[in-house]
Every structure is written in C-alpha cells, then in structure tokens.
Amino acid sequence: MQKYKKHTKRFWASVVYICILLLAMPALYALGEQLRLSLPPAEPIVQPDNLKLASLTVVPVPTNATIRNLSIEPAYRAGMPLAPGDYVIEVSAPGYKTRRKTIALKRGDNLRVQIRLTPITTYTDKVVDNKQKKKRSDAKHLVREGVFGKAWKDPKTGMAFVWVPGGTFDMGDTFGDGYKDEKPVHKVTVDGFYMGKYEVTQEEWVKVMKSNPSGFKKGDRYPVENVSWDMIIKQFIPELNKISDQTYRLPTEAEWEYAARSGGKKEKYAGGDDVDALAWYDDNSNGSTHEVGTKAPNGLGLYNMSGNVWEWCEDDWYNNYDGAPDDGTAWMDSPRGAGRVVRGGSWDHSARGVRSASRSGPGRRRSNLGFRLVFQAVK
C-alpha cells in the first residue's frame, strides 16, 4: 500500500510539470523571437576551395614521354587540381627534342592538351632521308618526263620520239557522234611510253628494209604505206631492233588513243577541234598523202595522229569494246584472229573518220595505211 501511494505522487507530479510547460510555451516562443531579431545577420556560406580550382591533363607524343610541371613542387599527375594561373610544362623522351609549353588555366578549366615531340635527326638519318627524297623526286621526274626526257631521237636510226606520261582516261566515243564499234566508253589506265613523233617515213623504212613498198613515192619525208601488219611485225621491227638499243613495237589500241588525245584529254581530233589545222583528210589532201609534220601537233607534240594515213596497232579487231582490257594492254585472241585494228583515219576519209576515237579493221595492205612505233624506255 505504501509503495502504491509513492508511485501515485510521482505520476501527479509529472502531470503538473507538463502542464506548466504547456502554459509557458507561448512565453518562451516570444522570448526566442526577440533574441533572434536582436542577433546580427548571418555570414554568407563560404564555398569549398576546390570549386575555385582547375585541372590539367597532358597527352604526350610519344606516349612514354616524361611530363614535369615546372611551376609547382609536387610531381605532375594527370588531372591534378591546380589554382588558376600560368604553368610551364616540360615534356621529354629519349631520342626526341625536349619541349616546354606554357599553359594558362582559368577557374573551373578541365584542360586536355597534346604535346608532340620532334625526333632528333642524326647525320645518318639526314643522309637516308635525302636519298629517299631524291629517289621520290627521280621517280616523279621519270613519270613526268621519261628516262630520256620529253623528246628523244634514236642515235642509231635518227627516229624521233615523244614521251607519253601514263594515266587513266575515258576511251571510246566520248562525244556521242561516233560509230557503234567505238562503244561502250570505258576507263583505261596506261603506263608511260615513248611514241614516234611522226609516222614512220619512207626514208626510215628503206634504211632498214632496202626497198620501198609505198604507193605514193613522193619523197623521203612522206609516210611509208602499203605495208601489212605482218611486214611490220615479222620483218621491219626485228631488223630495226637489231640496229637500235631499244626494243620497238606497235602501240596497243589503248596506248594509241591515249596518246592521240594528248594524254587522255577529251579531244575530238588529235590536238583539238580544228580538223583542218590538224589533219590531212578528203577535203584538203588532194587525193594523196603528205609529208609528216606538216599539220599542227597535238598537246604532246605528236603529228598526224588524225589523218594522212591509218596506223596499225597491236590488237586484234573486235566489233566493240565489250570485254576490252582496262590496263592498256593489247586485246588479242588465242590463237590470234585474222584481223587487226587500225586507227586515226587517212587522206581519203571524211572528218568523221579522222576523229581521235575513230577505228577500223580488219586492216589490209593499202596506200592509205602506215604505222608509228612505241617503246618502253630502258636506260
């Protein structure tokens, strides 16, 4: 009973205490407001220092190079926080020239900078490099001007030749005014070669063969004609190659057209559009061949590739270009067909027949058909 009375007193004491607190709360709240208003304004919150910093990552070339930040004591590490300002970065590697670069950082920058080193060139390197440069220069010179230059004369025979730099061109009826056998137009790539500046003359033929088969025996500088493909391939060229240091041959059809077009240009006639300035044909030839070199040359310095006499090529005759090779080689049957290609038109053909794209075949021996030679230079 005594214990019960003791707990009852504690309970009622707690109730009284709580009531007093509840009654005092408004007064305490009012006192707190007075104290808050009497205090000075709070200081602004200070941002952490790292929000004012920048970072820098250097990407060296070569990648194994050593990087130093000469403006601070701590060793450089990629992306380390740095205060805004200018920093001198040094990058070095064995075999390379050391490089220093000043980099400006602004607040909040997160820069990634590549620094490329230059290899140290030794005397041996320079000698090798100069040799390589000369080799490349010589190769370009050969492509542009040939082994013997842009024009060359065989010292054994006196025959003149012109360098034809290699290239890629559109072969066939590019103007759309030709014949079916000039189609389809197709791209062909040819290597460089030397081609006869003129058609082979009667004088040059006689020097080798000791006879003149031509129908128009008007002078030494007239083109030899009335010669068959077999006479050229089996008789004249083998005898000529015994005399000369070069190996002569007939041009392939692709080589012939590429050269006639002044190196693959879109030319209607061999040298341009003025047929009377460039070609002997039925309107101006008076029914005969004419001395070589008596009309204007084309852009490479080749004469009479349009008109005067048709010119034999190495290729077999095909009725069109379907399946023709695209590498400038001769298109031949196996075994060889009976007909061969002739190009360029002649003194008894119309202007249409002496176009750069004009072709005919199978050719046969006659007084409007001659040839010119080519060779790949060997020094």
Asked whether residue 95 falls in the same domain as residue 206, the answer is no
Residue 7 lies in a domain: no
Whether the CB-CB separation of 174 and 198 falls below 8 Å is answered with no
241-293 confidence digits (pLDDT tens): 999 989 999 999 999 999 999 999 999 999 999 999 999 999 999 999 999 99
Which of 73, 100, 116 is the endpoint of a domain? Answer: 116
Quick count: other Cβ atoms within 10 Å of Cβ 206? 15
Query: What's the count of helices (H) and strands (E) in the chain, helices before strands?
Result: 7, 16
- Give the chain's domain count: 2
Asked whether residue 333 falls in the same domain as residue 369, the answer is yes
Domain with 91 in it: 49-116
| Sequence-separated (6 or more) residues with CB below 8 Å from residue 24 | none
287-308 confidence digits (pLDDT tens): 999 999 999 999 999 999 999 9
CATH code assigned at 99? 2.60.40
CATH code assigned at 165? 3.90.1580.10
Asked whether residue 149 falls in the same domain as residue 78, the answer is no
Which of 97, 116, 135 is the endpoint of a domain? Answer: 116
| Sequence-separated (6 or more) residues with CB below 8 Å from residue 342 | 310, 311, 312, 313, 359, 360, 361, 363, 369
Asked whether residue 287 falls in the same domain as residue 169, the answer is yes
Asked whether residue 150 falls in the same domain as residue 195, the answer is yes
Residue 33 lies in a domain: no
Residue 343 lies in a domain: yes
Residue 185 lies in a domain: yes
Give CA–CA dist 204/126, Å, rounded. Answer: 51
6-50 confidence digits (pLDDT tens): 556 666 666 666 767 666 666 666 666 666 666 555 454 444 455
Residue 177 lies in a domain: yes
Residue 259 lies in a domain: yes
Q: Is the pLDDT of residue 123 over 50?
A: yes
